[in-house]
Amino acid sequence: MSTHKPRIALIRQKYTNFGGAERFAAAALAALIERGARLAVVARAWQHQPGVEIIKVDPFHIGRLWRDRSFAKAACNVIAQREFDLVQSHERLTCCDIYRAGDGVHAEWLRQRARILSPIGRVLQFLSPYHRYVRKAERALFTSGRLRAVICNSDMVRQEIIERFGEIDARIEIVYNAVDLERFSPLLRSRFRQSMLTELQLPERSLVYLFVGSGYARKGLAQALRALSQMPLHCYLVVVGKDRRLRRYRQLARRIGVEARVRFVGAVDDTTPYYGCADVFVLPTLYDPFPNVILEAMACALPVITSRKCGAVDLLRDGENGFVCDALDVDGLAWRMRELLDARAREKLGFAARNLLEGWNAALMADRLLSLYRDVLIRE
């Protein structure tokens, strides 16, 4: 690969500033360009990125089943018509050499989601044509003769792939997401703490728990709100992210008596002021392969509380550099939140998490990816 600049195609339906997979892809693209790769993105929509060819593929659709199926067909048609050394997909397609399993295993997500559904909801989930399509597409992907490698962002996902699909022919590599340790750092506190307390109308001596995530049911906001109701009155929860059922969560906060101690700020382009304001990061997610927000919080030396079905458990040691509990264990979550009322405990766990990430960056991630690409090309 030193004498030939590989031409690499990356497939992802759409770019959003709030999407962890998209931010991973954007960071990977930038780092790969620096190392001489020629890159193209096949997508419905993508933000402009210097040095990257954007191939727009946006077939008409109504509904998510038609959306995913039509994009898969159109994207694979483009791949068949162009010459690429490697094709890496972030979608469940059979026309890729490398698949990044950033969304985890769909069947496992459905299993976890069923825990919060009513009996009727579980039946509807089982009968859903969309979920049937995704599971079928996922199985076709993992049994595809073209697939050479799978990139997982956590060991949790690697284990789930093996459990669901057996020992697939493709090699499975873990490549953790990168985090910008300069942008996300403990210095954010001195820069933003006071101004954000004022902006959010929080008392000077508040203890601020931060929740960052969109899709509140999946991310565990209801559990975080209920745990907050067990906390002292100087404790507040700041919620960054969006959900079309926001009203339902406002009503829940009102019903359990914490409305005055919750700040819903919506989706934001820059989360750094909120990390700078926070004392603790809370994400009792129902299922998450490895959210970037966990790495960002750790980089800011914030103690993290998350769930056992979050890929961050690869890095977190309960009580040493973070806390881990079951996503639906509200009492367990509240207990861990209370443990972090103590400033010394917060400092101990927060800086242990930060120290663990020293050396993590986009360059390291790009080197891992290029090494994988080189091995795949050599094998072909």
**What is the rounded CA–CA span in Å between residue 373 and residue 375?**
5
Give the tokens for residue 153. Answer: 């962002």
* Confidence label for 155 from pLDDT (cuts 50, 70 and 90): very high
- Residue 380 confidence (pLDDT): 62
Phi, psi of 300 (to 5 degrees): -85, 5
Which pLDDT tens digit goes with each residue over 175-227?
988 889 999 999 999 999 999 999 999 999 999 999 999 999 999 999 999 99
What is the mean pLDDT of the segment spanning 234-262?
98
For the chain, the residue count is 380
Q: How many percent of the chain have pLDDT more than 70? A: 93
- Residue 1 confidence (pLDDT): 46
pLDDT at 296 over 60: yes
- Residue 30 confidence (pLDDT): 67
Q: How many percent of the chain have pLDDT more than 90? A: 77
* Confidence label for 250 from pLDDT (cuts 50, 70 and 90): very high
The hierarchical CATH code for the domain 7-178+361-379 is: 3.40.50.2000
**What is the rounded CA–CA span in Å between residue 330 and residue 284?**
9
Which pLDDT tens digit goes with each residue over 323-352?
999 999 999 999 999 999 999 999 999 999
Which pLDDT tens digit goes with each residue over 12-50?
988 654 555 666 666 666 666 666 678 899 999 887 777
Domain boundaries, the chain: 7-178+361-379, 188-357
* Confidence label for 290 from pLDDT (cuts 50, 70 and 90): very high
What b/e readout covers 118-136, taking b as 16+ CB neighbours within 10 angstroms? eeeeeeeeeeeeebebbbe
The DSSP code sequence of 298-322 is HHTT--EEEETTBGGGGT--BTTTB
pLDDT at 2 over 60: no
Which pLDDT tens digit goes with each residue over 133-144?
999 999 999 999
Closest CA to 330 of 251, 190, 221, 179: 221
Which pLDDT tens digit goes with each residue over 47-98?
777 778 899 999 999 999 999 999 999 999 999 999 898 899 999 999 999 9
Mean pLDDT, the chain, as a whole number? 91
Specify the DSSP element, H or E, that contains 173.
strand 171-174
The hierarchical CATH code for the domain 188-357 is: 3.40.50.2000
- Residue 219 confidence (pLDDT): 97
The two domains 7-178+361-379 and 188-357 share their CATH topology (first three levels equal): yes
- Residue 366 confidence (pLDDT): 76
- Residue 37 confidence (pLDDT): 72
Residue pair 354/303 in contact (Cβ under 8 Å)? The answer is no
pLDDT at 157 over 70: yes
DSSP 226: H
